[in-house]
Amino acid sequence: MTDGPGLKLKWNKNDVFSVENLYTFECKTVDDVMALYHFGIKNKVVASHNMNNSSSRSHSMLSLTVEQVDTSNLDNVVVSKLQLVDLAGSERQSQTGNVPSKESIDINKSLFTLRQVITALTERQKGVSASSYVPYRDSKLTCLLR
């Protein structure tokens, strides 16, 4: 996995990934979550090109961990996790008029890797190839989505 600009990923021997300098916030209300969502959208990298005035130049992810506590039994806690992902679009430089950049190459590579992961998981689920390799580590995006 290449270490490009942005957040750095670290993993431990149990193959659990963590992100350095990741912001984590505790929210008590839906309004708190929406305020953070809009904060993230404002900080998302966008740029214009021949086909789109505000093309997303980065992937963004919002991970929500929801804890539900049974008030009659405080030891009974249900934890759910939801990940919302906004993927940057792949580009054909010939159509956008952009000169190929490391940024666009990295975006296209991560989307290609995501496709490979989805394909490997689908084949595994269908029983086509139970031992197929799933290339999670080949991009930061797929490491985080795992």
Distances (CA, A) of 130 to 121, 123, 125, 136: 9, 7, 8, 16
- Segment 9-55, tens digit of pLDDT: 787 777 777 788 777 899 999 999 999 888 887 877 655 554 555 55
**Number of independent structural domains in the chain:** 1
The band of 2, judged by pLDDT with boundaries at 50, 70 and 90, is very low
Judged by DSSP in three states, 92 sits in: coil
Is 67 part of a structural domain of the chain?
yes
Residue 1 above 50 pLDDT?
no
- Segment 85-113, tens digit of pLDDT: 888 776 666 555 555 667 777 788 888 89
The CATH number that applies at residue 123 is: 3.40.850.10
Q: Quick check: pTM over 0.85?
A: no
Closest CA to 106 of 142, 82, 53: 142
Is 55 part of a structural domain of the chain?
yes
Is 1 part of a structural domain of the chain?
no
User: Which residues partner with 103 through β-bridges?
Assistant: none
Q: Residue 103: which domain range?
A: 9-145
